[in-house]
Structure 1
Amino acid sequence: MTAPQNHSHPTPPVNGNPRPDSASRLVSELPRVQRSRMGGLWVASVLFACVLLLLLIFVLQNGQRAEVSFLGAHGTLPIGVALLLSAVFGILLVALPGTARIMQLRLRQRRTAGRLDAGPPPGPHS
């Protein structure tokens, strides 16, 4: 193994320019680009498309028919579709009470903030 060597002479000119060009700079020296909402939206849409592709593959591979009964309704569905529908209904069963609780907490916060902005209650001053 060799030890690192320190060169005291300056770097040679690149393309006739005494300073190195921007392409030869390290990536860490380049200015950092701010993240934007459109960039985040693009990443989210690519991830969403990948999830949809996986769901499509799941449904296509599970095409056998299954008999489904729900609240008196009877029918047949492919197994993949029936499983996806049951997952969606399960998510909704969890999301609805959660949404109600979030709305309840926001309403309580608004009421508390309204009381604090109003100041002390009117009454006799001594």
Structure 2
Amino acid sequence: MAYPPEDRPNAAPEDGAPPPLPPELAGTLAGLAGAGKAPPPRRPDTSVPRTRTSAVWFGVWAGAVALLLLIVFVAQNTGNVRLSFLWMQGQISLALAMLIAGVCGAFVAMAVASVRIIQLRRLVRRR
């Protein structure tokens, strides 16, 4: 916003009325009357607070759904597949092979995450 020009008087008129607004403010909120009544007060929050028990309950339900999906996965993938790894060879259920691969992938991800957490803790300790 621009400053008022130096040639404009800043003193209020003698009759006690507020000074007129400059033209650049005449159409803004500064030139409007009051907004009316205040909004009604908010009602107090009546929601139930989250607790550890509710978090555990949610975890139990999420685990049950994941277990149900795992059972469906195993039931639909019962065929055997031939696997070869280094000098080992054999046949294993497709579902079991995929679950083993998923668990191994999770261990790799946790190892990388653990290394990162250790790095961050050392950084915080140094500061």
What's the TM-score bracket when you normalise by the shorter of the two chains?
0.5 to 0.7
Q: How high is the sequence identity, in percent, across the aligned residues? A: 33
Larger radius of gyration: 2
Q: What letter is aligned with 2:120?
A: L
What amino acid sits opposite 2:109 in the alignment?
V
Residue number in structure 2 paired with 1:58: 73
- 1:47 and 2:79 equivalent? no
Question: Which residue number corresponds to residue 53 of structure 2?
Answer: 38
Decide which structure has greater helix share: 1
Q: Which runs of 5+ in 2 are unaligned?
A: 1-42
Aligned counterpart in structure 2 of residue 81 of structure 1, from 76, 96, 110: 96
Cα gap change, 1:56 to 1:75, in 2 (>3 Å): same
**Secondary structure of 1:101's match?**
helix
User: Alpha carbons of 1:101 and 1:29: their partners in 2 closer, same or farther (altered >3 Å)?
Assistant: closer
What's the counterpart of residue 96 of structure 1?
111
Root mean square deviation of aligned Cα: 2.0
- Pairwise CA distance, 1:62: 0.5
* TM-score scaled by length of structure 2: 0.59
1:29 Cα deviation after fit: 8.4
**Deviant stretches of 4+, over 4 Å:** none
Counterpart residue number, 2:83: 68
